[in-house]
Every structure is written in structure tokens, then in C-alpha cells.
Amino acid sequence: MALLEVSHLVKHYEKPRGTLGALSRRPRQYVKAVDDISFSIEQGEMLALVGESGCGKTTTAETVLRVIEPTAGTITLSGTDLTGLSEAELRPLRRHMQIVYQDPYASLDPRFRVSRTIEEPLAIHGIGGSKRARRDLVSEALAQVELVPTNLFLDRFPHELSGGQRQRVAIATALAVNPELLIADEPVSMLDVSVRAGIMALLSRLCRERGMGILLITHDLGVAAHFTDRVAVMYLGRIVETGSTRAVLSGPQHPYTKALCDVVPKRQTKRDRAEGSLLRGEADATGTAAAGQGCRFRPRCRYAIEDCVEVDPRLRPVEAGDGHETADGHEAACIRPGLFELGQNVEVGRE
Amino acid sequence: MAHLLEVEDLEVFFETPGGGPDVHAVRGVSFTLDQREKVGLVGESGCGKTTTLLAVAGLLAPTAKISGRVVLNGQEILGLGDRAMRPHRWTEMSMIFQGSMNAFSPVTTVGRQLADAIQVRGGQPKAKARARARELLSLVGIPAERASSFPHQLSGGMRQRATIALSLACEPKIVLADEPTTALDVMVQAQVMELLDRLCDELGLALLLVSHDLMLVTEMCERLHVMYAGEIVESGSDDQIVGAPAHPYTSRLFAATADLSTSAAPVAIPGAPPRLDHPVAGCSFRSRCDKAFDRCEHEAPVLLPVRPGQEAACHLVEDHDVGEPGLAVPGGSEFIPGGRDGSA
């Protein structure tokens, strides 16, 4: 049984149609923020949900946490279906799923010392009993995120910490209650390039050592590349490609994944840069491409053909040249398979 | 040959409230910018790159103590008051700031703000300024009718395009860009960088780009300066920095960045830069450097030529024969540029 099982998750928002619209019985219109996606995370596994701003990745995360209510679909954590639960029933389960937010400058209370920030969730969930026992747990959490010696950090305020250290405190706060699932929403995008790898390596290690499942939300395939087991690429509410990180990044099969791979800056000069592969425009969740039939990526896709207007592509297993499905559960939602060679790129992925 | 912009031995100190020692934020920084040239300043948070940029633009708080020379078009502009600086801003030198949300006033339309800048700085009549504002928006790929949009009605990418339009309002010769894409996702980042690159080429602008992302800058600029703890520790052409970096810090910055063209996982640089309110004895990078030796403890390295056009401040380059390109560089990696296919 998977740790987290998300099945046919849907989150639609109704577009405002105004009083006149309602009176004239104009049909309701919806923004399909998340439109029928399914994925699962095993214990000790890190899954990256990758896509541009507005593709629905954060909505997915918040729906999993039941911070926002899904329109349809089920979310199962360790066998318990979360979707039907009331707020009171959900509360004891909350400690099993924690989140680390993007901006460690905003997510930590500036008036709380590090020790108090980490201790608060312990107190809320009634973990640790005595104050002394709780303090030991706080120190342990700090040690887990490599803020050692811990007594050097316990009494500090957030403004006395660097961005990377703050994000480590945010991770320690999430870890303190010993969750089974950690959602990391763009945990490194606010940080300097020089410390990003350290935070990602930390998450990767915690995931493995503690058998925790991690859902990593990121817009940057470069961040996902070397530290995650599997990736799911989202575009306008749908997963358009998924599989092991190694399989997907070494041979992206969906034109969108290919474009995401191409925009990650590389160690090269301007002259070496491949010309003309850049996608135009932005993913518009409120636009016609998201609402209508056919492939949602079509308006920005250089490989689009007439059929793409009609056919709504669903995830299909990627076939290797010999007609067999590739290993690693590699799937892509494009009606033109074989646009790009498999295993063309350098193999990257978690060791 | 006269340079378009020449910065020489720039020093910036900030007073610490409460009478502590001054923060020595920029330490003897020198570089030049020529017409149509794209130059990058790269380094971690707190390395002094933004302070350098603000000092050049004359935008530092009056409490900052600045010395050195900043020569724009043959005229010394360091220390000029606001009034004396005014003719140089916008028309000769303009700036793109990091947070595009904060670059615009939230209560006025984008078109109006653009037109205001053109009217005030360029001395154009209102109608002409408005027309020019629409023209500028089209230039950066925003439909002209969006001139009547308020900043919050634009996406992050569009807003950053609009700030680029704003910086071009009075046809400057130099654009100073401070982390122009940091708050954006990678796809929009690539679009904005491509736009900036194309506009600089088409309009013949010189660009000074500040960023913490070394790979972003190498893909954009012809000349790079890597800053650490207030100093330039390495300078070189894009080819030299990409192919044979001489300072261990530059190599570590490359190694810390996720790169899909190599199977090696990125490795963070351990530790943190030194505090800038105390003088640093020896090499400022030594505590984080895996190549540090005795000499780095007590003697600060100075910028020395590595090969023509490339300089580095590291004791390891001292005995290097200058003028023989292609030699193995201490601290440099054996990386061969050429992208994805070449490095498989």
C-alpha cells in the first residue's frame, strides 16, 4: 500500500459571472485548476511535481493537505481516505502530513526564537509530555537538519539566521512531529544557488533515513533532477508526463517536458546555447486552452497537428523502440509518441 | 580607449547602528563596461554585488561612505548629488530592479507610469509620451492595450517585461539589472532573459547584470566578475569562466548549481561567507575552500593575471605562466564546454 494515494483529484473554481450573468442564466464557467490527476508516493520516496506558475501544483498540494477542499477525487494517506473526514477527525491526522513553504523569510514568526517555533507544533499535538522532553525533541529536530551545535541555534531569532538556515528551521519544525508525509512547496526557490543543493540533499537524506514520503513542488526541473525518485510534470491542471526521474529527464517524451528541460541554465556560454527552443507565452489557467477540448498545450506547442485540436490526450505508457513499454512507469500524454528519442540526454536522478 | 562606464577601486562602508565597526561591503572593486557589452557580476547574497550596482547608480543611502571612481562617458559621477545626477539617470543609465511588483505604483496604470517617465525625463508632450509608452510595451511583447492595466492585473512575467520597458523609456546607453528574474519561474526567466538579450543587441545597449546564478550569467554575458565578501575574486570572458575557472570559488559555484547536462549531483558550498564588519585576515574564502593551505591563513591574495583577459585572486594561480592558454588551471575543473552532447 502506498503512503499517499491521490486518485482522480479535481479542483474546479467557478468563474465569477456577476449578477447579470446569474440572472440571464448564463452557464457557469470553471477554472480547472486541477483536472483529474492521480499519483502516489511510497514510503521513503520523493516525488517532484513540476510545472510553471499557474499549472495547479500548489493547488494539488493544498488539496492533499485538505487546506482547500477538492471538487472530486480521493486522497488516501496510509489507507485512510482523507476526503470524507470532518475537520475534527482530520486534526489528529495532521501531524502525519506537514508542509515546508517557499519563503523562509515569511513562514517563520519573527518574534519567536527557534526553540519556540519548533516546539509549538509539539505542544499543539500533545507530543513529548513534559517541557524538558519537548526540549529534547526540539534539539533532536535541529540536529536532524544539521544546525549543530544545537545550543547555538536554539535561542536565535529568524533575523539572526541566513536564508538557508531559516529554511532548515522550517524543515525542523515540520519534522518535529515526525510526519509520514512532507510536502515541500518550492523549498529552495528563494535561496541562493550556492545553498540549494544542501537543502535538497538534506530532504533527500531525511526521506530515505526516516522512510518519509516527500512531495516536492517545483518549477525548476534542475532542482528535481538529482534528488528525486520520480517526477510528474503538470500543465494546466493535468499531469502530462510522469515516470522515474531518470527516465523522464534522460528522454522527455512530451514537448512541454522537453521545453522545461531546455530552459534550465547550463554551464555554457551564449554561443553554445541552443537557439529557438524557447516556449512563447504563459500557461493561462483561465484561458480557452484550459477550458476547451483537445490538448491544452496545443497553443504553445510547435509539434501540434490538426488532431491535437480534437483529441484530449491522456497518459499512455511510453514504448521503447521495440514496441515494449519502458521500465520505470514512464508515461506521457501526447498523441505524437516518438517525437524525441529516449535516453538522449545525460542520465540524471537520485542515486 | 575610453570606456562607457569605468569603475575604479570602489569602496563602500555602512555605519552600524549603535556604534559598532563599519560594514565594509564593497572592497576595491574595479571593472569597465563598453558600448554594446554585457557584463555580469555574480556572487552569493551579501557579496556586495547589489551594493556595487547601487553605488554606480548613485542610489545608496547618504549614510554610506563611498570612495573610488565611477566614470560615466568620461564624467566622474560618484558623489554627485541627486540634482546633479538627474541628467544621467534614465537617459544615460537606467535600472531594472529585482521585485517587479514593487517597481510600479499599485494605484496607477502601467501605461501612465511609463508615460510619466517619458514626459518628465524625455521632455515629451503628453500625447506623444502615451504613444511611446504603448510602443515600448509592444517592444517587450506586451499587447499595447495592456497599457491601461494596473500592475496587479499583469502576470509576474509581464510585470518584469514592463519594468524592462520602463528602463528603456528614455533610450539609455546602459541598463543596470539587479536579479531581474529571481522571483520568476524558469520558463518565464528564460523568456525575460532572451528578451533582455535581444533588446540589448537591437538597441545597442550595454548591460550590467547582477545575479547569484552563475549559469544564468554565463549564458548571457561576455565578461564576468565573480564577487566574494565584497571583492572581485575572479574576472574573465565567458569562455574562460565556463571552460577554465581559476578561482576555487568559481568552480564551487558551478558545482553547486543543478545542471541537466551532467549526471553529477550538485554540491552545496559548505559554511557561509565571512562577516563584513571585521577585517578578514588572509583569504576571505579559505574557511570554505577545500584547496586552502598555510599561506591562505595570513596573506590575502590579490587579483593576478591567469591568462590574457582572465584574473583571479588566489594563491594557487601565482606561479602560473601567463599567456599560455590551455594550461591546466589549479582549482579549475576539466569541464569542456559544448553543452549536453559534449559532456555526456
Among B44, B238, B338, the residue with its CB nearest the CB of A194 is B44
B339, A266: Cβ pair inside 8 Å? yes
Reported as a single tens digit per residue, the pLDDT across B94-118 is 999 887 667 889 999 999 999 998 8
Q: Identify whether the C-beta of residue B110 lies closer than 8 Å to the C-beta of residue B147.
A: yes
- Is residue B196 located within the same domain as residue B101? yes
The structural domain count of chain B equals 2
Return the amino acid letter for B247.
H
Handedness of CA A239, A243, A244, A248 (dihedral sign): negative
- Is residue B18 located within the same domain as residue B153? yes
Helix H segments across A97-251?
A: 104-107, 114-124, 131-144, 163-176, 193-210, 221-225, 245-250
Testing the interface with A: which of B179, B182, B186, B198 to mutate, by most A Cβ within 10 A? B186
Query: Which residues, 6 or more positions from B155, have their beta carbon under 8 angstroms from its beta carbon?
Result: A53, A54, A282, B188
- Is residue B304 located within the same domain as residue B165? no
Among A220, A267, A282, the residue with its CB nearest the CB of B242 is A267
Domain end residue (candidates: B200, B221, B242): B221
Q: Which three cell numbers stand for residue B286?
A: 579559505
Residue A238 lies in a domain: no
Range of the domain at B290: 225-342
B260, A273: Cβ pair inside 8 Å? no
**Alpha carbons within 13 A on the beta-carbon side of B86:** 7
The structural domain count of chain A equals 1
Q: Where are the beta strands (DSSP E) in A42-102?
A: 46-50, 72-77, 80-81, 97-100
Q: Find the CATH number of the domain harbouring B231.
A: 3.40.50.300
Pairing, β B174-178 against β B206-211: parallel
Reported as a single tens digit per residue, the pLDDT across A110-144 is 999 999 999 999 999 988 888 889 999 999 999 99
B259, A264: Cβ pair inside 8 Å? yes
Q: Is the pLDDT of residue B325 over 70?
A: no
Helix H segments across chain A?
A: 18-23, 57-64, 87-94, 104-107, 114-124, 131-144, 163-176, 193-210, 221-225, 245-250, 255-263, 288-291, 307-310
- Is residue B321 located within the same domain as residue B333? yes
- Is residue B276 located within the same domain as residue B153? no
Among A200, A259, A266, the residue with its CB nearest the CB of B261 is A266
Distance CA B81, CA B77 (A): 9
B44, A192: Cβ pair inside 8 Å? yes
- Is residue B272 located within the same domain as residue B328? yes
- Is residue B240 located within the same domain as residue B326? yes
Domain end residue (candidates: B167, B186, B221): B221
A163, B155: Cβ pair inside 8 Å? no
Range of the domain at A172: 107-177
Residue A65 lies in a domain: no
Average pLDDT value for residue range A190-199: 90
B256, A193: Cβ pair inside 8 Å? yes
CB atoms near residue A234 (< 10 Å): 25
pLDDT band, residue A17 (cuts 50/70/90) = confident
Return the amino acid letter for A191.
L
CB atoms near residue A190 (< 10 Å): 18
Q: Which residues of B touch A278 (CB under 8 A)?
A: 190-191, 194
Residue A140 lies in a domain: yes
Residue A119 lies in a domain: yes
Q: Is the pLDDT of residue B336 over 80?
A: no
Helix (H, G, I), strand (E, B) or coil at B259: coil
What is the predicted pLDDT for the residue at B342? 32
- Is residue B198 located within the same domain as residue B99? yes
- Is residue B196 located within the same domain as residue B102? yes
Residue A167 lies in a domain: yes
Q: Identify whether the C-beta of residue B66 lies closer than 8 Å to the C-beta of residue B10.
A: yes
Q: Which residues of A touch B189 (CB under 8 A)?
A: 263
CB pairs under 8 A between A and B: 160
Domain end residue (candidates: B190, B221, B252): B221
Q: Is the pLDDT of residue B198 over 70?
A: yes
CA distances from A266 to A218, A225, A262, B338 (A): 18, 13, 9, 10
Residue A347 lies in a domain: no
Pairing, β A30-41 against β A4-14: antiparallel
**End-to-end CA, chain A:** 24
Q: Which residues of A touch B158 (CB under 8 A)?
A: 282
Shortest distance, CA B76 to any CA of chain A (angstroms)? 32
Nearest to residue B300, comparing CAs of B224, B226, B233, B245?
B233
A222, B335: Cβ pair inside 8 Å? no
Nearest CA in chain B to A162: B272
Helix (H, G, I), strand (E, B) or coil at B278: coil
- Is residue B203 located within the same domain as residue B234? no
Q: What does the mean pLDDT of chain A come to?
A: 90
Model ipTM? 0.87
Shortest distance, CA A78 to any CA of chain B (angstroms)? 31
B259, A270: Cβ pair inside 8 Å? no
Among A194, A222, A282, the residue with its CB nearest the CB of B259 is A222
Average pLDDT value for residue range B162-184: 91
- Is residue B192 located within the same domain as residue B314? no
- Is residue B293 located within the same domain as residue B250? yes
Reported as a single tens digit per residue, the pLDDT across B136-161 is 999 999 999 999 999 999 888 889 99
Residue A14 lies in a domain: no
Nearest to residue B5, comparing CAs of B33, B28, B30?
B33
Shortest distance, CA A86 to any CA of chain B (angstroms)? 36
Shortest distance, CA A90 to any CA of chain B (angstroms)? 33
CA distances from A159 to A104, A143, A195, B275 (A): 11, 20, 18, 15
Q: Which residues of A touch B254 (CB under 8 A)?
A: 267
CA angle A60, A66, A67 (to 5 degrees): 85
